[in-house]
A and B are shown apart, each in its own frame.
Chain A
Amino acid sequence: MRETRSALRYSVTESPAIDQVGVDERVSRMTKRSIKKESKLQALKLAMSMLDLTTLEAKDTPGKVRQLCIKAMHPHDLLPGIPAVAAVCVYPNLVRVAKETLEGSGVKVAAVATAFPSGMSTRKMKLEETRWAVGEGADEIDMVISRGQFLAGEYNFVFDEIAAVKEACGAAHLKVILETGELSTLDNVRRASDLAMNAGADFIKTSTGKIQPAATLPVTLVMLEAIRDYYYTTGKMIGMKPAGGIATAKLALQYLVMVRETLGQDWLNPDWFRFGASSLANDLLMQIVKEHTGVYQSIDYFSKD
């Protein structure tokens, strides 16, 4: 029953072909946009507010997560007017710590789940982990797709898995990580994006950060274009999250240019666009302070948590 329904809801033939040369050219055009002065300051702050401040290490502890949460709420209080980040992203067993620390701040807690980062587990375990993370207080779930099945052409399997995790999320938002570094072609990126959106993703996300390459501009452009087509087909807005490898403010602004010119102004806020990153925060802060003072400060003037 379910298989038939899935087949009706996503078929690879509805994903258009992607031409890599053309994508690279469009990206190169966008990276040449010159962002200066007030436009730059506005974008830096916007990027700050879109951050999913992330720590996903096996050595993470409650102490480390608490520190990161404080940074999330107070990125740089020395300079007023800097927004808090959008969310803190942790493993499920640290959700409760994060939730308690962020209480009342408006900063969301995102948890990776479904046997992150590999996804090499059973559906039962994945759903259980998802429900547990939500029960611990996660506002958002970042799941990984089963890349093995996807590459084997078992699209219905991947579709059903996403749909089931979505159901397990309840009220929590679902971000679906495609792990584009393992998908090999932009055609596959486009197919996985279409599949994930049709299966119920609230956000589509490039990478776990554990595989190279992680987020790239061309991959992000293809995903944004998929979101655009899905919007025109269904009227539903889907969010986008590039993650991994975005360490500099300059690169972050290039992503914002891409969102602006592909999806428009309605996506330029933390409800619809996020950066999954850790070291990006301090580079954004450094640039924001520089815009105010005219000089760069040493990295030691910015807290590392």
Chain B
Amino acid sequence: MKKTKKSVTPLNFTGGWDYAPAPESKDHVQLKDRYDLFINGAFVKPLSGKWFDTINPATEKRIAAVAEAGEKDVNSAVTSARKAYDGVWGKMPAKERGKYIYRIARIMQERARELSVIESMDGGKPIRESRDIDVPLAAAHFFYYAGWADKLAYALPGATPRSVGVTGQIIPWNFPLLMAAWKIAPALAAGNTVVLKPAETTPLTALKLAEIIQEADLPPGVVNIITGAGTTGAALVNHPGVNKVAFTGSTDVGKIIQKALAGTGKRYTLELGGKAANIIFEDAAIDQAVEGIINGIFFNQGHVCCAGSRLFVQESVMKTVVRKLKDRLETLVVGDPLDKNTDIGAINSRMQLEKIKKYLKIGVNEGGEMYQAACSVPSKGFWCKPTLFTNVSQSSRIVQEEIFGPVLAIQSFRTLEEVIEKANNIPYGLSGGVWTDKGSRIFKVTGELRAGVVWANTYNKFDPTSPFGGYKESGVGREGGLHGLMPYLQHV
């Protein structure tokens, strides 16, 4: 490849013809001013007597108040889940169970627009993503697992599959509705009942899902949705009536849960952090690889456990790739999550923004060269410009630690052996990406990367039929596909 001429002025992406604001309407969205806990098929006031506000991270304005479930509330949710399991759901013919799950999926599709707008309002993610990815994929998970409900015998040939009982599920704030679907759908298909706790900053779509579950006429207590923060989650994990815990979130909390569960006999799956290596070889389709890197790290503001946050570029194309990334950064639209043209929305919370800022400072102090898009960001709300770091190394903290924001750390490599060693040299092992035009190299790299998911010449592709989960500090267990059914079944 020919080298870039030094004297060339960079392309100009500012001024001139621009896109006018194109905000998605939120007139059709119906939100209550205050949400109670969804227990035993009805919304009930919390025994704790406490509520807290959930805000729009793009405006810092309050959207609604949600209940804070205390220990007694958790107990009441688990008790109703147990009653529903023993009395109805556990005994129901599998085919009937499937019908309910299909019904949830269909209602989600019918209300897709409302769900995507709320998802963007509550969490800050661009409407393009919630409309095209989060909501359709969440419905797809319900459809997929609904199909398994009466075919469990085929999932475990030679064994008689049995459900586990009451499952306690805790989900994160980055994909609120999608994670609820990942957790609830397989649990129900396998015949379990559910107590789900959404994250405190993004509880609204889970509560909307509770309304959908009501509308689908699911027997009371089969799914209970309780809101709250860490203490609520801890009460759920530690409740003796829970048979299985499913958690998606940070590695720190995952470790606490694992300790708490040791010796209790409760089953658990943990889907934790990541620091994926995205590897570009010199023969890759460079422009498409650059697009893949952009999607890999800036999808959902980088609030993605499998984000491609470490980039390894073969040295011969390093300059070209970095130049192309910088040009692409200038065309990313940062701003109002409800605008249909927005590529990068708001950071989910002030706390997360502070964490990202802390890492930016660390990166600069460590000698990293920081490059940010020239875009402006709104004065209200939580924002971080898309950021690239070059001149970093394996020992840099921004290379080793999960930032969970729109920050990409770029390193070069010379040989395949070197890049595999560096890619695996990290406490995490959730995902990875490889970009090359050579098929044999794809197999070599994917075979040697210690990561649960490795994408080749693409990134961040999800499908309900495909298992997802990590090695090492990225967690235990798999979600999605046939594998995702296993944690919810006893093999008798």
Question: Across the interface, do A39 and B19 meet the contact criterion of CB distance under 8 Å?
Answer: yes
Question: Across the interface, do B458 and A235 meet the contact criterion of CB distance under 8 Å?
Answer: no
Q: Which A232-273 residues have a C-beta within 8 angstroms of B?
A: 232-235, 256, 260-261, 263-266, 268
Instruction: Provide the residues of chain B in CB contact with A34, threshold 8 Å.
Output: 19, 22, 340-341
Among the interface residues A14, A40, A264, which one has the most CB atoms of the partner chain B within 10 A? A264
Which listed residue, A26, A32, A231, A264, touches B291 by the CB 8 Å rule? Answer: A26
Considering the complex, give the chain B residue whose CB is closest to the CB of A28: B132
**Is A17 located at the chain interface by the 8 A CB criterion?**
yes
- C-alpha gap A5/B448 in the complex (Å): 44
Number of B residues with CB within 8 Å of any CB on chain A: 37
Instruction: Provide the residues of chain B in CB contact with A233, threshold 8 Å.
Output: 2-5
Given A25-B291, A228-B11, the answer on whether A35 and B19 have CB atoms closer than 8 Å is yes
- C-alpha gap A18/B18 in the complex (Å): 28
Which listed residue, A19, A23, A235, A256, touches B5 by the CB 8 Å rule? Answer: A235
Question: Across the interface, do B287 and A33 meet the contact criterion of CB distance under 8 Å?
Answer: no
Question: Across the interface, do B458 and A33 meet the contact criterion of CB distance under 8 Å?
Answer: no
- C-alpha gap A260/B5 in the complex (Å): 22
Q: Which B19-70 residues have a C-beta within 8 angstroms of A?
A: 19-22
**Is B323 located at the chain interface by the 8 A CB criterion?**
yes
**Which secondary structure dominates where chain A touches chain B?**
helix
Give, as a whole number of angstroms, the nearest-CB distance from B317 to chain A: 9
**Is B379 located at the chain interface by the 8 A CB criterion?**
no
Instruction: Provide the residues of chain A in CB contact with B284, threshold 8 Å.
Output: 16-17
Question: Across the interface, do A22 and B341 meet the contact criterion of CB distance under 8 Å?
Answer: no
Given A35-B19, A264-B11, the answer on whether A18 and B285 have CB atoms closer than 8 Å is yes
**Is B292 located at the chain interface by the 8 A CB criterion?**
yes
**Is A141 located at the chain interface by the 8 A CB criterion?**
no
Considering the complex, give the chain A residue whose CB is closest to the CB of B14: A265
**Is B286 located at the chain interface by the 8 A CB criterion?**
yes
Given A235-B7, A266-B11, the answer on whether A36 and B1 have CB atoms closer than 8 Å is no
Considering the complex, give the chain A residue whose CB is closest to the CB of B283: A17
Size bracket, chain A contacts: 35 or more
Question: Across the interface, do B287 and A225 meet the contact criterion of CB distance under 8 Å?
Answer: yes
Contact with A along B73-106 (1 / 0, CB 8 A): 0000000000000000000000000000000000
Considering the complex, give the chain B residue whose CB is closest to the CB of A35: B19
Which listed residue, B7, B8, B17, touches A46 by the CB 8 Å rule? Answer: B17
**Is B16 located at the chain interface by the 8 A CB criterion?**
yes
- C-alpha gap A33/B365 in the complex (Å): 38
**Is A42 located at the chain interface by the 8 A CB criterion?**
yes
Contact with B along A265-293 (1 / 0, CB 8 A): 11010000000000000000000000000
Question: Across the interface, do A16 and B20 meet the contact criterion of CB distance under 8 Å?
Answer: no
Question: Across the interface, do A39 and B11 meet the contact criterion of CB distance under 8 Å?
Answer: no
Question: Across the interface, do A265 and B458 meet the contact criterion of CB distance under 8 Å?
Answer: no
Given A232-B4, A235-B8, the answer on whether A265 and B13 have CB atoms closer than 8 Å is yes
Q: Can you list 26 contacts pairing A with B, beta carbon distance less than 8 Å? A: A14-B1, A16-B286, A21-B458, A22-B287, A22-B289, A22-B291, A22-B458, A26-B287, A26-B291, A33-B341, A35-B19, A35-B20, A35-B22, A36-B20, A37-B20, A40-B20, A46-B17, A225-B287, A228-B327, A232-B4, A233-B2, A233-B5, A261-B331, A265-B12, A265-B13, A265-B17
A residues contacting B by CB (< 8 A) are: 14, 16-19, 21-23, 25-26, 32-40, 42-43, 46, 225, 228, 231-235, 256, 260-261, 263-266, 268
B residues contacting A by CB (< 8 A) are: 1-5, 7-8, 11-22, 128, 283-289, 291-292, 323, 327, 331, 340-341, 437, 457-458
Using A231-B11, A256-B17 as known contacts, list a sample of 7 further A-B pairs with CB atoms less than 8 Å apart, ordered by residue number in A.
A14-B2, A18-B287, A21-B458, A34-B340, A39-B20, A46-B17, A263-B11
